[in-house]
A and B are shown apart, each in its own frame.
Chain A
Amino acid sequence: DTEVTQTPKHLVMGMTNKKSLKCEQHMGHRAMYWYKQKAKKPPELMFVYSYEKLSINESVPSRFSPECPNSSLLNLHLHALQPEDSALYLCASSHVDREFTDTQYFGPGTRLTVL
């Protein structure tokens, strides 16, 4: 199984809502990532989990809260978002050991719209 799945595919939320994005992989990867991507821009790294521990937080506002319940699952909890947070949110996974290819396997993304 070489697939990363993400739910939901689309999400529309108001600025006072609380919602969660979910990501799952069964490739045995011990690194999982959240990226944010705006149109015609590269994916922008938000968080990295390595062995279920948060290893990188790229100065992301606290209205985004990541969680890694186990080695296969990654969540992104959203609260009090702003319209400028509207974007494609991508989950990815990879091996941690640099002896491997460091290839990132991306999910299909969640298109988030904040009204």
Chain B
Amino acid sequence: SQKIEQNSEALNIQEGKTATLTCNYTNYSPAYLQWYRQDPGRGPVFLLLIRENEKEKRKERLKVTFDTTLKQSLFHITASQPADSATYLCALDETGGSYIPTFGRGTSLIVHP
């Protein structure tokens, strides 16, 4: 069966460190993978998209990598700040699929001052 797996345990890190979140998938051939941020009680906010033929994407302090061999995406936040504390969701859509992404359950990031 198809699965998108994100670590269900919260990631606790110290301010200034790099946070690394993982998204693994099974039985998908993604055309792209997206990362969203969600604050409690709010809708997800799009952060970054990486396509199947891209290895890495950057935006300010954010970096996403995509390894289709390992079936994994890593999401990095460098110089993390307490304001980065939120849940981060990955979402993917398959090659030849609909235009509607399927979401993982997300990983909670807590950055301590």
- List residues of A whose CB falls within 8 A of some B CB: 4, 31, 33, 40-43, 45, 48, 56, 88, 90-92, 94-98, 101-109, 111
Contacts and interface: CB of A to CB of B under 8 A. Distances in A.
Interface string B85-113: 00001010100001111011110000000
Contacts of A108: 42-43
Contacts of B106: 40, 42
B42 A109 contact: yes
A31 B104 CA distance: 21
A56 B46 contact: no
B101 A102 contact: yes
Interface in B1-44: 8, 31-32, 34, 36, 41-44
Interface of B: 8, 31-32, 34, 36, 41-46, 49, 89, 91, 93, 98-101, 103-106
Nearest to B93: A102
Contacts of B43: 4, 90-92, 106-109
A103 B49 contact: yes
B101 A42 contact: no
B54 to A, nearest CB: 13
